[in-house]
Amino acid sequence: MEFVASFSGGKDSLMAIKQTLERGGRLVAIIVSTREDMKTSWTHGLDKEYYKKVADILRCEVIFTDTDIDNYEKEFEAALEKSKKLGARACVFGDIDILQHLSWNKRRCDNVCIECIHPLMFKNRSEIVEDFLNSDLKAKIKKLDENKLAKDMLGRDFDREFIESIKKIEGVDVCGENGEYHTVVDPYSIRKVLGAEIYVDNASTCYPKAPGVSTRVSEFIDNESFSINRGTYMKAYNLSSKVIDVRDKIAKFLHAPKDYVTIFSPSATEAINMNLRGYLSKGDEIIVDERMHNSSWRTVEYLKNKDVSVKIWSEKNGEKSSSFGLRSDSKKESIDIEKHSSLNDKPLYESENLEEENKKYDISELKNLITEKTKLVFITLTDNITGHYLEEAEEIGRICEEKNIYYVIDGVQSICEREINIEKLKADAFILSGHIGLMGPEGIAASVIKEDMAKNIDALIYGGTGSQSNSPNMPESLPDKLEAGTMSTPMIMAMGAAIDYIESVGLRNIIGKKHSLGKKLRAGLKDIDGTIVSGHGSFCSLSMKNQDDAMVAFNIDASRKIMTRVGIQCSPCTHMVEGSFPNGSIRFTLGYFNNEYDVAEIIDAIKYIESSF
């Protein structure tokens, strides 16, 4: 269950969050009751920067009320409404047993139709204190009632010594529930207890997903699992309209012109197969880039075996166009590992610098590859090893338009890594996946295709569509022609929810944070002796001169809970371009829910390994 929490900064509100997380909940936001001066919180008087830091550690959003006492109820409910848009279906409070507080919380939640949860309700107050002290959480006394406690208690550690001292004072509650004292929890202890796991394999699949994604899937399965295009009842018709809305949402997100159609598929791999194999036939010619993912490379190899001519556009004066078995002639060969084993001895990415400029490709060489047989140009906009972005993408679009050649883009790694504008790119088809940059679910992808190209693509999969059911042939109408079988409507709805979240946070904010973290990580790792580092944007590819990369990745997971990926990462083509084949590298890919503490921990972990062995 996705939930929001009312968070004061004190021990009880944090313990309520901790218990809900331990029960399997997903925190999407914290609500902080802040004064109308927009600087500090009510009750605890903490600065906003403290709460921003805690939200970053807890990998969630922060919602400030910024209100005076007269409008407090109204603004708190407005904050609850905001959290609902993020996917929250419950609000968690740290109140224990004061009925006035419990009732106030319940009324606020009831008014916005969100569940009210009090994990600490009616628990023994001494037990709550004991649970906190038995954890690794740390707190200090932030405020106190000077009529009940001595001034010199202010700023003291909230520890057993403090608890024993107040137990001796008559009329003082051990938990401070009557306002005797207020605590502030140390953010770094929060990180140790609740934010220690570091996931940096976001180029494989994002984690965590965007808030609202899991809630949308759950709500769909519970309330909307109907058969679109088949059911002759209003709920099925309404669902069909919602699927159309998501199609339009994706097209709008990518700035596609009106004559484009969104086609869903179970994966980007299937979408690539559909766009390439569904269009090209024997005797045709395709031009591809040299940084392909295996989903593209293996598809192109299949086409080559079916007598489709394949040409590689590579770096100027490079000798890599044939290094991974793709040639412009009719020879059919595979990767020769022995042939490239010498690459293991040469430094990787030696020309990389902190300015992170992408390698430039000579557009004139692409023009020279085009012949009368060329039917399609297919490029990887952002590779999945270093995050290299093909800056010449728009110019390729203009060339293809002039030559009347279809232009297809693998944009899987570009979503929320760059701002995408299909109209500027002049791409005839753009392929994206739900589970990577979009921060959505696995099992769903989309091709945003110009209608005239889609009409020329032959269906790869045949079967039911819910339309023209009396015909043995696939319908020619779009999208039915290319969407056989029962669609994964829960994942489609979740894909729409992910876009809603991205737009609520702001695409540029997401890209900016990811790129900033990526740059700091690369800079920090480059300062460590024995490391070879490359990357762009949120990508960081690391190899250790004196260590086995696989063992390094294993060790940082076992000792620091840093989850990353090591090896070829499904793109031997890119590793050959970068000179890192056949060993590959350790790849760190930062996501929106990573933070500077993650980056510092990764750098420290690598530094420790390099200095210890």
- What would the mean pLDDT of 551-566 be, rounded to a whole number? 97
- What would the mean pLDDT of 64-87 be, rounded to a whole number? 96
In this predicted structure, what is the pLDDT of residue 229? 83
DSSP 8-state class, residue 4: E
Please write down the HEC assignment for all residues of 459-499.
CCCCCCCCCCCCCCCCCCCCCHHHCCCCCCHHHHHHHHHHH
Residue burial 374-393, b: 16+ Cβ < 10 Å; e: rest: bbbbbbbbbbbbbbbbbebb
Query: DSSP readout, 41-61?
Result: BTTT--BHHHHHHHHHHTTSE
Contact 411, 559 (CB under 8 A): no
Name the residue among 612, 519, 599, 526 with its Cα closest to residue 560.
Answer: 599
Contact 361, 390 (CB under 8 A): yes
In this predicted structure, what is the pLDDT of residue 436? 97
* Type of residue found at 265: S
Contacts of 115 (CB under 8 A, 6+ apart): 89, 90, 91, 109
**Weakest-pLDDT range from 116-120, 342-346, 468-472, 533-537:** 342-346
- The tokens describing 581, both together, are 């084949």
Contact 436, 203 (CB under 8 A): yes
The answer on pLDDT for 358 being more than 80 is: no
The pLDDT-based confidence of 466 (bands split at 50, 70, 90) is confident
Q: What is the mean pLDDT of the chain?
A: 92
Contacts of 357 (CB under 8 A, 6+ apart): none
Q: Rounded distance, CA 197 to CA 564, Å?
A: 11
Contact 461, 484 (CB under 8 A): yes
The answer on pLDDT for 447 being more than 80 is: yes
Q: Rounded distance, CA 375 to CA 377, Å?
A: 7
Please write down the HEC assignment for all residues of 310-376.
EEEECCCCCCCCCCCCCCCCCCCCCCCCCCCHHHHHCCCCCCCCCCCCCCCCCHHHHHHHCCCCEEE
- What would the mean pLDDT of 352-375 be, rounded to a whole number? 80
Contact 186, 107 (CB under 8 A): no
Pairing of strands 309-313, 285-289: parallel
In this predicted structure, what is the pLDDT of residue 232? 85
Pairing of strands 90-92, 26-32: unpaired
Name the residue among 517, 503, 480, 425 with its Cα closest to residue 198.
Answer: 517
- What would the mean pLDDT of 440-456 be, rounded to a whole number? 98
Name the residue among 422, 535, 460, 95 with its Cα closest to residue 267.
Answer: 460
The pLDDT-based confidence of 327 (bands split at 50, 70, 90) is very low
Residue 6 belongs to what H/E stretch?
strand 2-6
Contact 296, 380 (CB under 8 A): yes
The pLDDT-based confidence of 19 (bands split at 50, 70, 90) is very high
The answer on pLDDT for 445 being more than 60 is: yes
The pLDDT-based confidence of 377 (bands split at 50, 70, 90) is very high
Dmax over CA atoms of the chain, in Å, equals 94
CB atoms within 10 A of CB 224: 17
Return the C-alpha torsion angle 96, 101, 103, 105, nearest 10.
-90
In this predicted structure, what is the pLDDT of residue 331? 33
Alpha carbon separation from 275 to 308, 412, 432 (Å, rounded): 14, 14, 12
Q: Rounded distance, CA 74 to CA 243, Å?
A: 35
Contact 212, 28 (CB under 8 A): yes
In this predicted structure, what is the pLDDT of residue 356? 54
Contact 458, 278 (CB under 8 A): yes
End-to-end C-alpha distance for the chain, whole angstroms = 44
Length in residues, the chain: 613
The fraction of the chain above a pLDDT of 70, given in percent, is 93
In this predicted structure, what is the pLDDT of residue 231? 83
Query: DSSP readout, 143-154?
Result: EE-TTTS-GGGT
Which of helix, strand or coil describes residue 407?
strand
The pLDDT-based confidence of 583 (bands split at 50, 70, 90) is very high
Pairing of strands 285-289, 374-380: parallel
The answer on pLDDT for 443 being more than 80 is: yes
DSSP 8-state class, residue 202: T
Which pTM was predicted? 0.92
The answer on pLDDT for 142 being more than 70 is: yes
Residue burial 75-92, b: 16+ Cβ < 10 Å; e: rest: bbbbbbebbbebbbbbbb
In this predicted structure, what is the pLDDT of residue 315? 76
The answer on pLDDT for 333 being more than 70 is: no
